[in-house]
Amino acid sequence: MLVLVVVLFALLWLPIHIHLLTFFFVGQHPTGRAYMAATVLFSCLAYFNSCVNPIIYNHASKEFRDAFLEVARCGRAGQQAVDTAAVPGTGTGGGAMIVLAETSADTPRRHAQTTVTVTAC
């Protein structure tokens, strides 16, 4: 998996790096439409690398899939209806408070509330 990620990184970022190095050493660049289209294409290829990585990780690693599903479910398996509200944190750690309210069909007005504090590193 690591080899694939590194090879794709090199292939997708190589065109823009060649383009920038050519501009740096030559000192001027063409102004034609083909050159501008190539510049946009090279930039899109470089950014596409960020889109490809999660797909590679998902395909190659069961641990990544399991961790992603756990994060997507907020660490709670099997929950049916969840309402989410975010409240900005007030501490020095730059955290945020996420309030999850679980509702069920038989008690629409009553719900259990779980509070999770997330702190940015």
Chain segment 72-107, per-residue pLDDT in tens = 887 666 554 445 555 555 545 554 445 454 444 555
Please tell me the predicted confidence (pLDDT) of residue 58: 87
Nearest to 117 by CA among 92, 102, 99, 101: 99
Q: Which segments of 1-121 does DSSP mark as H helices, in order?
A: 2-26, 33-60, 62-72
Please tell me the predicted confidence (pLDDT) of residue 25: 87
Q: What is the mean pLDDT of the chain?
A: 74
Pairwise CA distance, residues 100 & 84, whole Å: 5
| Greater model confidence, 33 or 75 | 33
Tens of pLDDT, residues 19-29: 888 888 887 77
What average pLDDT does range 35-43 have in this prediction? 91
Predicted structure pTM score: 0.53
CB within 8 Å of 38: residues ≥ 6 apart: 19
Enter the tokens of residue 6.
Answer: 């590194």
Please tell me the predicted confidence (pLDDT) of residue 92: 52
* Residue 103 phi, psi (nearest 5): -120, 150
Among the residue ranges 37-41, 51-55, 93-97, the one predicted with the least confidence is: 93-97
pLDDT band with cut points at 50, 70 and 90 for residue 121: very low
Residue 32 has pLDDT above 80, yes or no: yes
The terminus-to-terminus CA distance of the chain in angstroms comes to 27
Angle (CA) 89 92 94, round 5°: 45
What average pLDDT does range 67-72 have in this prediction? 86
